[in-house]
Amino acid sequence: MTTATPTASTLPYHETYTHQEHWRNQEDEFEGAKLGVWLFLTTEILLFSGMFCGYAILRIFYLEHFTAASAHYLNWKIGAANTAVLLISSFTVAMSVRAAQLNKQGQLIINLLISAVCGVIFLVVKLGWEYYPKYIHHELPGKNFAYADHTGAYIANASDPVFLAIYWVATAIHGFHVLVGVLLLLWVAWRAGKRHFGPKHYTAVENVGLYWHLVDLVWIFLFPLLYLV
């Protein structure tokens, strides 16, 4: 736009950024941050494996009842819709990383915002169509569980509260991760608006993207285990 040679003060942040003082160069810093996030994702996987392991053991204990409880309490269509929403958001997050690498600032912001909106849709569906109806019908784990079903057509098994305990805790922990992910995506989008990211520097976009993929991946396992099998 301007013919003058850009100086350090007019260049966007991502062009002038080098690295924090204790790193040797920008590449080391990027690789280090990425390694740190991968390790963090490992801890996330292990956290959720605790849930999956508990699910597996209790499912073996109460195989038929779990199947019946899944079919009765959960609507696979809602779960499938949310799965689709998350898959779309994962795609747009991947696109935003690509946009940062190619210095397409507009695409970067749009893709990040679409991903955040997808996360919000997921949470709204979860709260409005799943948690709220379950809450008012006492389909809750523990002492608030009502064995007398509101439809009158279903006879609850003694292990149903345990199934619901797994369902509520696993999806709530996952939902919390989605919420954190949305906030992170908005933060990255805000920084992208200030031209913080470009081909030379897109650490935060990459790492938030990695985190978002994991959140997506956990749901890919939760959905069939809770809703389908």
Whose Cβ is closer to another protein: residue 13's or residue 38's?
38
Query: For the chain, what is the total number of helices (H) and then of strands (E)?
Result: 8, 0
Lookup: tokens for 126 = 């979860």
Return the residue of 54, 81, 105, 110 that touches another protein, per CB under 8 A. 54
* 3-state DSSP assignment of residue 147: coil
- Report the alpha-carbon distance of residue 110 to residue 210 in Å, rounded: 18
Among 7, 9, 143, 148, indicate the residue that binds another protein (CB under 8 A). Answer: 143
Among 62, 76, 91, 129, binds another protein (CB under 8 A): 62
Out of 10, 11, 13, 61, the only residue in the binding site for another protein (CB under 8 A) is 61
Tell me if 187 contacts another protein by CB under 8 A.
no
Among 36, 128, 133, 224, binds another protein (CB under 8 A): 36
If you search the block for the tokens 């935060």, which residue do you land on? 204
- Of 46, 117, 64, 52, nearest to 88 (Cα)? 117
Choose the stretch contacting another protein; rule: CB under 8 A; options: 77-85, 99-107, 156-164, 190-198. 156-164
Closest listed residue to residue 181, CA positions, set 155, 218, 147:
218
Cα–Cα–Cα angle for 169, 37, 196, rounded to 5 degrees: 115
Give dist(CA 111, CA 107) in Å, integer. 6
14, 48, 82, 202: which one binds another protein (CB under 8 A): 48
Question: Least distance in Å: CB of 88 to another protein?
Answer: 28
**Interface region with another protein, contact rule CB under 8 A, candidates 38-46, 95-103, 180-188, 210-218:** 38-46
For residue 186, the minimal CB distance to another protein (Å) is 21
Which range touches another protein (CB under 8 A), out of 82-90, 94-102, 141-149, 221-229? Answer: 141-149
Q: Would you count residue 148 as binding another protein (CB under 8 A)?
A: no
Dihedral angle, C-alpha 53, 55, 57, 59, nearest 10 °: -150
Structure tokens at 17: 């950024």
d(CA 160, CA 166): 10
Name the site residues for another protein (rule: CB under 8 A). 21-24, 28, 31-33, 35-36, 39-40, 42-44, 46-51, 53-54, 57-58, 61-62, 141-144, 158-159, 161-162, 165-166, 168-169, 173
